[in-house]
Amino acid sequence: AQSVTQPDIHITVSEGASLELRCNYSYGATPYLFWYVQSPGQGLQLLLKYFSGDTLVQGIKGFEAEFKRSQSSFNLRKPSVHWSDAAEYFCAVGARGNKLVFGAGTILRVKS
């Protein structure tokens, strides 16, 4: 069965510092991987996705993620965090055109 683990429930970083949010997945085939962001009281916004090809994918708002098959990981990174990045981040895995399985989420706090 598919599963996603986000080991960090909360992360706090200083504004301007770099960020890495961890995601590990379990899936029997080549996964479709996603990162979503959710601001308080809002729906989920797609940051980036990996289907195939280049293992380093670029997304919106300056985010990127790297797919590492050997580690079953899809970590999200940003070189310099802005206060507006404070939100909850969800990693998800899905089959082709099918339901998504989400991790528990990581809440990002940004301190000035």
Q: Which residues bind another protein (CB under 8 A)?
A: 32, 34, 36, 42-46, 49, 51, 90, 92, 94, 96-105
CB of 110 to another protein, least distance (A): 23
Q: Taking the alpha carbons of 19, 50, 25, 56 in that order, is the dihedral positive or negative?
A: negative
Please identify, using beta-carbon distances, which residue of 91 and 110 lies nearer to another protein: 91
Please identify, using beta-carbon distances, which residue of 62 and 102 lies nearer to another protein: 102
CB of 4 to another protein, least distance (A): 10
CB of 103 to another protein, least distance (A): 8
Determine contact, residues 94/36, Cβ cutoff 8 Å: no
CB of 49 to another protein, least distance (A): 5
Please identify, using beta-carbon distances, which residue of 74 and 81 lies nearer to another protein: 74
Please identify, using beta-carbon distances, which residue of 48 and 81 lies nearer to another protein: 48
Residues 6+ apart with CB under 8 A from 19: 11, 13, 76, 77, 78, 81, 85, 108
Determine contact, residues 91/8, Cβ cutoff 8 Å: no
